[in-house]
Chain A
Amino acid sequence: MSIVAELAAESTPLSAERLDVLIRRLRTVLPDAALLTTTEAMKPFECDGLSAIRRMPAVVALPESIDQIQAVLRICAELNVPVVARGAGTGLSGGALPSADGLLLSLAKFKQILHIDSVNRTARVQPGVRNLAISEAAAPYGLYYAPDPSSQIACTIGGNVAENSGGVHCLKYGLTVHNVLEVTFITIDGEKITVGGSTLDSSGYDILALMNGSEGMLGVMVEVLVRLLPVPECAKVLMAAFDNLESAGQAVADIIAAGIIPAGLEMMDNNAIRAAEAFVHAGYPTEAAAILLCELDGTTEEVDELLAEVEAVVQRAGASGLWIARDAEERARFWAGRKAAFSSVGRLSPDYYCMDGTIPRRMLASVLTQIDDMSREFGLKVANVFHAGDGNLHPLILFDANKPGELDQAEAFGERILTLCVAVGGSVTGEHGVGVEKLAPMCAQFKPQELIQFYALKAAFDPQGLLNPGKAVPTLQRCAEFGAMHVHHNHLPHPDLPRF
C-alpha cells in the first residue's frame, strides 16, 4: 500500500461535538483572526513540501505571542487534541502534515529577529524567521549564519531546528545542531523550558542536541539563539569533470585524505548535469559522467594555496576537465546549476521523488551503480545529486503521477534505495527528516528495542503523545505491517515493563 493510501485510511476527523468544544475554548485565548476553521482558509496548510500527501486539519491556529501558544497547548492537552507545529512548510518528508483530528499550529507570525550580538557572534530570533533573513541581518556586522539548506530563501529557523537541516556547507561548518546555542520551547502542558544558553556548554543533559531533529515531537519551539560566523575573506570554486563515477569518488576521498576540508564539495551525475545545463546554462560539460564542485574559503592566501593542491589532486584522480571560476559571477553560475538541480529535473519529468540517504563516501560508486540497476528494473529514470563531502545522496526519481501505478513504483524504488543506504552503513535520512515519508525504512534502520527507547524518550516530554503524532518514529505495529520487521508479542524484551 502506498504512503498516500495508508494515510488516507487512518484519517479520522474530530467529531462535530469535540470540534465545537475545541473551537469554543480556543476562541477564549485567541483573537478571531488567529483561528482558521473553514476549509477554504485551512487549504494552504493541508501539506508541506511533500505535496503528494495532503490532509486537512481540524483547525489552524496562528498565535502571535508565547502566552497564546502556552494557552493553546494547555487546551489541546486537556482536550486530548493532537498538535502539529508548522514553520514555512518547505519540509520534504511530510513532517508538518496535519492530523485530521488535530490542531495545526502555525508559527508564521513569529518572524522577529530579536537581537544580534556582534561581539558574542549570536542572533536571537523567533522561530518563524527565515534562514536567509538571519544572514542578511548579520551582514552589516561582517557575520552570517552558516547552515544553508537549498530552501533557505523560504524555510524558517524553527523548521531548521526541528529537522536539523544541513545544506551545501555543512562538511566544514556543520549542521543546524552545531550552530544553535539555545532553544526555548513550550511543552504540551504549556510549560516554558530553555535548553542550552549563550555559553559554550550548559549544566545538565544536552537536551539541546535532542531538540535538533526531533521533528516537532518533543515541544514547540518559540525562540532560538544561533551562532554567527565571520564572513570569510575569500571563496573560490573549482569544477572538475570525470568520465566515470569511480574517478569522481576517488577524487573526493583524495581531497579529504590530503587534509583539506572544503567549504562545499558537491557531485552531480550525467542526468543531473544535463538537466541543470539545459535549465540554467551554467557551462557544465554535458558529456561528463560526473562533475565535482569544490568550494574553498578562508584568507586569500590560504584559498590560493589550497586551490593549487585540490587542482593537483583531482588531476591525479583522472579528471577529464577542470575549470576555476574566474570571478564571483562565474562562481555564482557554477553553483546556480547545482542549486537549481531539483527544479531542473522537475522540467524533465511531470513528477519527481527526491530521496535523502547518507552513505559512507567510499561506497559511492558502488551505490550509484546499484541505483542504476534498480532504475532499469523499475523502468524509472533517476538523476543523482550528492553532498559528496558528507556522504548525503539525493537521488531524484522521475515519474508521472498521472500514469497508473507510477507513484507506487517510485515509492518502492525509493524505499529500495534507502534500504541499500542502511545496508552499506548509512542512514535513511541525512537532512530531510523522517516525517511520514520514511517511516517504513526506519523499521529497517532500528530494531524494536531501539524504537521502544525512542517512545520512552518521547513520553518523557509528551506523555499523551499529542505532539506531531504518527511522524518520525514508526510504531512497532506499523513496522510489523510493513513487513520490514517481525514483532511477535511474546518476543518483545521485558514484557513486564510498562511501555509507552
Chain B
Amino acid sequence: MTDQDISPLLAERVQSACHQGTALTIVGSGSKAFLGGQQSADSASGTTDHGADVLDLVPHCGILDYEPAELVLTARAGTPLAEIKQILSASGQMLPFDPPQFGGKGTLGGAIASGLSGPARPWQGAVRDAVLGVTLINGQGEILKFGGQVMKNVAGYDVSRLMAGAFGTLGVLLEISIRVMPLPRVHQTQVVATTTEQALRWFAEWNQTALPITAASFHDGQLHVRLAGAQSAVHKAALRIGGDTLAEATASTYWQALRDHQLEFFQPGEPDLWRTVVPLTAPVEALPDAPQLFDWGGQQRWFRLPSGREADIRPQTTAAGGHATLFRPSAQATGARQVSPFTPLPAPLHALHQRIKIALDPKGIFNAGRLFTEL
C-alpha cells in the first residue's frame, strides 16, 4: 500500500496545459479505457493517439482518513479500489455502490469519474449518492475543495456530486470523501429457473415491497436474487422467493463476475456491448438475434448487438424513457466510430453542458470528447 501526494506536480501540469492550450487525458488504471468517445491512452509514450498529454493519477494514492464510526473514507484518486475494499471489509464495512473492477483493476478516481455502480445500485444507491466531498484541480490549475466529510452539507453548489459520471471532463479529481456502509450481517442468493416475462413480473412485484433485496439479475433462463440484512429478515424473504439457495462462495463469485463483466455474456470482441437503463416497466426489446442480460432488477439491460445496429436500440430505449450506451464496441468498430457512445442530449441541455464545461474548464483541456464531442 503506497501513499504519495503528487498534487502540486499535477496542478503545475494543468496550469501549463491551460497556458499553452494543450489537451490532457486523465488516466487511472485504464480499466475503463474502452468506454466513452476517446481513444485509449498509452502511458508509456506519455501521449494518446490524438496527441493529448497523459495525466497519470495512479501515483497519486493513499487512504487519508478512515474512521469506521463516522462511516466516511477519504482517499486520493489513484488509490486502487481493491485496497479500499480491503481496509473497509476489515472493519465490517463496504462501498455501497460496489463499483466494477474490470480486469480486477480500477481506482477510486476512475470509479467516481465513470459513475458506474455494481448490481446493488437500485438498493444501495449510485456512486454520486455516496460522494460527500472532493478536492479537484479545475481547468485553470487551481486546487479547490467542495463538499466535505459530513453526511449533511448544503453549503455552496454540489460540485462534488457533479464530478460523478463526468468522465474527468470537468476537473482532475485529487481526493474524494465517500460515505461507506456496514456490511450486511447475512447474505443469501436464491436462483429460480423462469422466463423473461415472469422474471420481469417478479421484479415489478418485489419492487413494491420492503424485501431485503440487494441484487437481482436474469439471463439464460435463470433469475438470481441476493438477499442481505438481518438473519431473520433474509430467511423470511428467501422462503417467499423460493428457488434454490446458492452456496456462499458460488454466490459471491457469481455477483462479482456479473459486476466485473466476467460472465460469458460479456466476453470482449464481437458483437458490440450495449447498456440500457430503463424504467422497470419498459417493454422488453424484441431483438431476436441479440442476447440480453437483465441487472438492477430489470432496470439495467445489457445487449450484444452486431456493429452498426444503433438504430435498433437507441430510439426504442429513448422512447421507453431510458438511455442507451455503446458500452464496449467490438474491435472492428473501434477504428471508425461513428456512433456517440452516450445518448445525445436535447439541444438546450447540451448547450447547458457546454456552459458548465466552460465554467470549470474554460480552455477545454480535460478529456476532450470522452463524454460528447464538443465537450
A binding-site residues for B, Cβ under 8 Å: 117-121, 141-143, 163-164, 166, 170-171, 174-175, 177-178, 191-195, 197-207, 209-210, 212-214, 217-218, 229-233, 253-254, 256-257, 259-261, 298-299, 301-302, 304-306, 358-362, 387, 390-392, 425-434, 438, 442, 445-447, 449-450, 453-454, 456-461, 472-473, 493-494, 497
Q: How far is the CA of A253 from the CA of B91 in the complex (A)?
A: 14
Please tell me which one of the listed residues A193, A433, A453 contacts residue B349 in the complex, with CB atoms under 8 A apart: A193
Binding-face segment, B52-60, B103-111, B225-233, B255-263: B225-233
Please tell me which one of the listed residues B68, B138, B204, B233 contacts residue A453 in the complex, with CB atoms under 8 A apart: B138
Task: Specify the chain B residue showing the minimal Cβ separation from A305.
Answer: B230
Q: How far is the CA of A198 from the CA of B299 in the complex (A)?
A: 10
Which 4 pairs, one residue from A and one from B, show the smallest C-beta to C-beta distance? A301-B232, A259-B182, A209-B161, A430-B152
Q: A200 to B300, Cβ gap below 8 A? A: yes
CB-CB < 8 A to B246: which residues of A?
Answer: none
CB-CB < 8 A to B352: which residues of A?
Answer: 193, 207, 460-461
Q: How far is the CA of A359 from the CA of B340 in the complex (A)?
A: 44
Q: A426 to B154, Cβ gap below 8 A? A: no
CB-CB < 8 A to A446: which residues of B?
Answer: 145, 155-156
- Given A450-B144, A453-B360, A199-B299 contact (CB < 8 Å): yes
CB-CB < 8 A to B322: which residues of A?
Answer: 197, 199
Q: B372 to A301, Cβ gap below 8 A? A: no
Q: Mark B359-374, 1 if CB is under 8 A from A, else 0.
A: 1101000000001100
- Given A200-B126, A305-B232, A358-B153 contact (CB < 8 Å): yes
Q: Give the shortest distance, in Å, between B132 (CB) and chain A (any CB).
A: 10
- Given A143-B208, A434-B155, A472-B156, A358-B232 contact (CB < 8 Å): no
Q: How far is the CA of A209 from the CA of B138 in the complex (A)?
A: 19
- Given A163-B154, A253-B69, A302-B229 contact (CB < 8 Å): yes
- Given A120-B279, A198-B279, A301-B232, A256-B69 contact (CB < 8 Å): yes
- Given A120-B279, A233-B210, A302-B233, A358-B161 contact (CB < 8 Å): no
B binding-site residues for A, Cβ under 8 Å: 67-72, 92-93, 115, 121-122, 125-126, 128-129, 138, 140, 142, 144-146, 148-159, 161-162, 164-166, 170, 181-183, 185, 204, 207-210, 212, 229-233, 236, 277-281, 296, 299-300, 321-323, 325, 342-345, 348-350, 352-353, 355-356, 358-360, 362, 371-372
Q: A120 to B69, Cβ gap below 8 A? A: no
Can you report 26 residue pairs joining A to B where beta carbons are below 8 Å apart? A166-B152, A177-B161, A193-B352, A198-B321, A201-B165, A203-B343, A204-B342, A205-B356, A206-B161, A206-B166, A209-B158, A230-B210, A253-B69, A254-B69, A256-B69, A259-B182, A301-B233, A302-B233, A306-B230, A358-B150, A358-B151, A392-B152, A427-B153, A427-B154, A454-B159, A460-B359
Please tell me which one of the listed residues A121, A427, A454 contacts residue B207 in the complex, with CB atoms under 8 A apart: A121
Q: B125 to A174, Cβ gap below 8 A? A: yes
A197, A305, A453, A457: residue with the most chain B Cβ atoms closer than 10 Å? A453
B68, B152, B159, B343: residue with the most chain A Cβ atoms closer than 10 Å? B152
Q: B148 to A426, Cβ gap below 8 A? A: yes
CB-CB < 8 A to B207: which residues of A?
Answer: 119-121
Q: B210 to A232, Cβ gap below 8 A? A: yes
Please tell me which one of the listed residues B70, B115, B181, B236 contacts residue A299 in the complex, with CB atoms under 8 A apart: B236
Q: B150 to A426, Cβ gap below 8 A? A: yes
Q: A430 to B342, Cβ gap below 8 A? A: no
Q: Give the shortest distance, in Å, between A148 (CB) and chain B (any CB).
A: 14
CB-CB < 8 A to B210: which residues of A?
Answer: 229-233, 298-299
Task: Specify the chain A residue showing the minimal Cβ separation from B321.
Answer: A198
Please tell me which one of the listed residues B148, B183, B358 contacts residue A425 in the complex, with CB atoms under 8 A apart: B148
Task: Specify the chain B residue showing the minimal Cβ separation from A494.
Answer: B140
Q: How far is the CA of A387 from the CA of B153 in the complex (A)?
A: 13
Q: How far is the CA of A427 from the CA of B323 in the complex (A)?
A: 36
- Given A118-B208, A460-B356, A200-B115 contact (CB < 8 Å): no
Q: B162 to A207, Cβ gap below 8 A? A: yes
Task: Specify the chain B residue showing the minimal Cβ separation from A166.
Answer: B152
Please tell me which one of the listed residues A164, A362, A390, A391 contacts residue B158 in the complex, with CB atoms under 8 A apart: A164
Q: A204 to B345, Cβ gap below 8 A? A: yes
- Given A121-B207, A207-B162, A456-B360 contact (CB < 8 Å): yes
Q: Give the shortest distance, in Å, between B169 (CB) and chain A (any CB).
A: 8
Q: A171 to B230, Cβ gap below 8 A? A: no
CB-CB < 8 A to B372: which residues of A?
Answer: 204
- Given A197-B322, A306-B230, A430-B152, A206-B165 contact (CB < 8 Å): yes
Q: A199 to B279, Cβ gap below 8 A? A: yes
Q: How far is the CA of A301 from the CA of B234 in the complex (A)?
A: 10
Task: Specify the chain A residue showing the minimal Cβ separation from B209.
Answer: A230
Q: B69 to A449, Cβ gap below 8 A? A: no
Q: How far is the CA of A56 from the CA of B126 in the complex (A)?
A: 43
Q: B150 to A119, Cβ gap below 8 A? A: no
Task: Specify the chain A residue showing the minimal Cβ separation from B205.
Answer: A119
Q: How far is the CA of A257 from the CA of B230 in the complex (A)?
A: 16
Q: How far is the CA of A390 from the CA of B161 in the complex (A)?
A: 18
- Given A210-B162, A259-B182, A497-B362, A200-B154 contact (CB < 8 Å): no
Q: How far is the CA of A149 from the CA of B137 in the complex (A)?
A: 35
Q: B165 to A141, Cβ gap below 8 A? A: no
Q: Give the shortest distance, in Å, between B43 (CB) and chain A (any CB).
A: 27
Q: A391 to B151, Cβ gap below 8 A? A: yes
Q: How far is the CA of A368 from the CA of B71 in the complex (A)?
A: 21
Q: B115 to A302, Cβ gap below 8 A? A: no
Q: B148 to A427, Cβ gap below 8 A? A: yes
B115, B142, B153: residue with the most chain A Cβ atoms closer than 10 Å? B153
Q: How far is the CA of A304 from the CA of B149 in the complex (A)?
A: 32
Q: A200 to B323, Cβ gap below 8 A? A: no
Please tell me which one of the listed residues A119, A170, A299, A456 contacts residue B152 in the complex, with CB atoms under 8 A apart: A170
CB-CB < 8 A to A390: which residues of B?
Answer: 150-152
CB-CB < 8 A to B325: which residues of A?
Answer: 203
Q: A213 to B154, Cβ gap below 8 A? A: yes
Q: How far is the CA of A127 from the CA of B54 in the complex (A)?
A: 45
CB-CB < 8 A to A449: which residues of B?
Answer: 142, 144
Q: Give the shortest distance, in Å, between B166 (CB) and chain A (any CB).
A: 6
CB-CB < 8 A to A117: which residues of B?
Answer: 281
- Given A200-B300, A454-B156, A299-B150 contact (CB < 8 Å): no
Q: Give the shortest distance, in Å, between B165 (CB) and chain A (any CB).
A: 6
Q: B183 to A259, Cβ gap below 8 A? A: yes
Q: A142 to B208, Cβ gap below 8 A? A: yes
Q: A360 to B149, Cβ gap below 8 A? A: yes
Q: How far is the CA of A445 from the CA of B133 in the complex (A)?
A: 13
- Given A164-B154, A260-B182, A120-B162 contact (CB < 8 Å): no
A202, A204, A425, A453: residue with the most chain B Cβ atoms closer than 10 Å? A204
Q: B152 to A175, Cβ gap below 8 A? A: yes
Q: B232 to A302, Cβ gap below 8 A? A: yes
Please tell me which one of the listed residues A163, A171, A460, A461 contacts residue B358 in the complex, with CB atoms under 8 A apart: A460
Given contact pairs A203-B323, A204-B371, a sample of 20 additional A-B residue pairs in the complex whose CB atoms are under 8 Å apart: A193-B348, A194-B349, A200-B277, A202-B323, A203-B342, A203-B345, A204-B342, A206-B164, A209-B161, A213-B157, A256-B69, A256-B70, A256-B71, A259-B185, A298-B230, A450-B156, A454-B156, A457-B159, A457-B356, A494-B140
- Given A199-B321, A200-B277, A454-B157, A205-B208 contact (CB < 8 Å): no
Q: A493 to B140, Cβ gap below 8 A? A: yes
Q: How far is the CA of A218 from the CA of B359 in the complex (A)?
A: 14
Q: Give the shortest distance, in Å, between B307 (CB) and chain A (any CB).
A: 21
Q: A121 to B208, Cβ gap below 8 A? A: yes
